[in-house]
Amino acid sequence: MTPFPFAAIVGQDEMKTAMVLTAIDPKIGGVLVFGDRGTGKSTAVRALAALLPPIEAVAGCPCNSAQPEECPDWADVTDKSLVTRPTPVVDLPLGVTEDRVTGALDIERALTRGEKAFEAGLLARANRGYLYIDEVNLLEDHIVDLLLDVAQSGENVVEREGLSIRHPARFVLVGSGNPEEGELRPQLLDRFGLSVEVTSPDDIDTRVEVIRRRDAYETDHAAFMAEWGPQDAALRDRILTARAALAQVRTSNVALHDCASVCLALGSDGLRGELTLLRTARALAAYEGASELTRDHIRSAAPMALRHRLRRDPLDEAGSSARVARQLAEVLP
Partner 1 sequence: MTPFDESATSPGRPPPPGADPWAQAGLALTLLAIDPRGLRGLWLRARTGPVRDRVMAALAPLALRKLHPGISDEALSGGMDLSATLATGAMQRHAGLLDNAGPLCLSMAERCPPGLAVRLGQALDTRDGLSLIALDEAAEEGEGLPQALSDRLGLFLALDGFTWSETPDITLPHAAIATAQARLGQVANGAALARLTRVAAELGIASLRAPLLALACARAHAAWRGVDAVEEPDLQIAVALTLAHRATRLPEEAPPPEEAPPEPPPDQNDSDPDSDQTPPDIPDEMLVDAARAALPPGLLAQLQAARMARAAQGQSGAGAKRKSLRRGRPMPSRAGKPGAGARVDVIATLRQAAPWQRMRRQMMPGRAEGRLLLMPADIRIRRYQDQTDRVLIFVVDASGSSALARLAEAKGAVELMLAEAYSKRDHVALVTFRGTQAELSLPPTRSLVQAKRRLAGLPGGGATPLASALQVALAAAEQARGHGMAPTLALLTDGRGNIALDGQADRAQAGEEAAQLARAIAQRAIPALVVDTSLRPKPALRMLSDQMGATMIALPRADARTLSRTLGAALGG
Question: What amino acid positions are annotated as catalytic residues?
Answer: 272
Q: Residue 178 interacts with partner 1 (CB under 8 A)?
A: yes
Q: Residue 290 interacts with partner 1 (CB under 8 A)?
A: no
Q: Residue 149 interacts with partner 1 (CB under 8 A)?
A: no
Round to whole Å and give the CA distance between 156 and 63.
11
| The binder of partner 1 chosen from 14, 66, 68, 98 (CB under 8 A) | 98
| Best CA proximity match to 258, nearest among 219, 316, 299, 317 | 299
Q: Residue 13 interacts with partner 1 (CB under 8 A)?
A: no
- Distance in Å, CB of 214 to partner 1, minimum: 6
Give me the half-sphere count of Cα atoms (radius 13 Å) on the Cβ side of residue 142.
Answer: 7
**Cβ partners under 8 Å of residue 141, min gap 6:** none
Q: Reduced to 3 states, what is the DSSP secondary structure of residue 115?
A: coil
Round to whole Å and give the CA distance between 196 and 5.
20
- Distance in Å, CB of 17 to partner 1, minimum: 20
Round to whole Å and give the CA distance between 76 and 78.
6
Backbone dihedral angles phi then psi of residue 28, each to the nearest 5 degrees: -60, -40
| The binder of partner 1 chosen from 212, 250, 257, 295 (CB under 8 A) | 212
| The binder of partner 1 chosen from 5, 26, 30, 40 (CB under 8 A) | 40
| Best CA proximity match to 288, nearest among 54, 32, 20 | 20
Question: Which residue, 210 or 324, is less far from partner 1 as judged by CB?
Answer: 210
- Interface residues with partner 1 (CB under 8 A) are 1, 36-40, 42, 93-95, 97-98, 105, 107-108, 110-112, 114-116, 134-135, 138, 141-142, 160-162, 178, 180-182, 199-200, 202, 204, 207-208, 210-212, 214-216, 218-220, 223, 314-315, 317
